[in-house]
Amino acid sequence: MNKKNLKIIVFTAYFLFIIFSFILNFNPGKEIGNNFLDFLLDMLKILPCAFILIGLFEVWVKRETVEKHFGDESGIRGYLWGILLAGTSVGGLYVSFPVAYSLYNKGAKLSIIFTYISASGICRIPMTIFEASFIGIKFTIIRFLVSLPLVIISSILLGNYLTKRNYEIAEGK
């Protein structure tokens, strides 16, 4: 059995489980189906707009601009730009990975890309406001003061490690 057939079998079994859960009134299966539908609708609201913006970024933003602000010569400014860009993004990591790939293709430094991806997981503005309103502004500030330097340091270490080994992101099929 090859991978393609296995995927088809798994997806078919999943959807049959959901369908039979609704027919037989099996609550855990119904909840799984409702969660899947909620997630699907959320993604359909975010991803098309995000991919249009990423496409416009690919066309409108020059490689030289990305290299200047996110490239090898950008210094600490590149990391700050990465954090700022991550803070303003929506859609979480679903959007951050395609943006990171686009930045990589336009000449961004690998460690700055890692900073961007990590920061988009921890410091998006909507998430930060939500966190501060529930847990408190003091906690949010302390979390930023601890996590952002760690993100930058680990990104630099990982970026340098992969750069020394001439790592390149593989092209999609």
Residue 41 backbone phi and psi in degrees, to 5: -65, -40
Question: For the segment 11-47, what is each residue's pLDDT rounded down to a tens digit?
Answer: 999 999 999 999 999 999 999 999 999 999 988 888 8
The model's pLDDT over 112-168, given as tens digits with 9 standing for 90+, comes to 999 999 999 898 888 889 999 999 999 999 999 999 999 999 999 999 999 999 887
Q: What is the reported pTM?
A: 0.80
Q: What is the pLDDT, as a whole number, of residue 172?
A: 61
| 65/52 Cα distance (integer angstroms) | 20
Q: Are 118 and 112 in contact (CB under 8 A)?
A: no
Distance separating alpha carbons of residues 154 and 91, to the nearest angstrom: 24
What is the structure's pLDDT at 173? 55
- 155 neighbors 111 (Cβ within 8 angstroms): yes
Residue type present at position 46: I
Chain centroid offset of residue 24 CA: 38
Q: Output the six-digit token pair for 153.
A: 């340091």
